[in-house]
Amino acid sequence: MNPGAFRTNFLGEMQFSSNPLPKDYKTGVVGQTMSRFTDAAGKQVGDPDKAIERIFEFVVGEGMAGELALKMKEGKDGDRALRLVLGEDALTRMKRNNDKFVGDFTIGEKVALSTGF
């Protein structure tokens, strides 16, 4: 399963150390990452109730996601989906990563094929 960001209390309930960050950390990657988490709390695009419904459907083989589960079970080797993607943000991120992978694969094909006997 590949979930996106769902509006749960996870980010709002994150516990950071009570010790203050050193100045260099506050203005660096660590501070930026912590700010992204706290700024995103309560603004996630995914509805957790809908995600739960899709997961339940997938598990029991009913409803919208249940159809996907059945297709995965019926598929021949290589035809089965390996992931249940939940959320527009997760789908966008995975498509972008896949496009990059396909691009790398395509431009490297000549080199890959040049190494056989």
Give pLDDT tens digits along the chain (117 positions): 889 999 988 877 776 777 778 888 888 898 888 888 888 888 899 999 999 999 999 888 888 888 787 766 665 555 566 778 999 999 999 999 999 999 998 999 999 999 989
Tokens 């527009």 belong to residue: 88
- Judge contact between 32 and 24, C-beta under 8 A: no
Q: How many CB atoms lie within 10 A of CB 87?
A: 20
User: What 3-state DSSP class applies to 38?
Assistant: helix
> What phi and psi, each to the nearest 5 degrees, are found at residue 18?
-75, -15
Question: 2 in helix, strand or coil?
Answer: strand
> What is the C-alpha to C-alpha distance for residues 107 and 117, in angstroms, rounded to an integer?
21
Question: Exposed e or buried b for every residue in 89-117, given b needs 16+ CB within 10 A?
Answer: ebeeeeeeeeeeeeeeeeeeeeeeeeeee
Question: Which residue type occupies 40?
Answer: A
* pTM of the model as a whole: 0.69
Give residue 48's pLDDT. 95
Q: Note down the domain range covering 92.
A: 2-113
E strands present in the chain: 2-3, 85-86
User: In total, how many domains does the chain have?
Assistant: 1
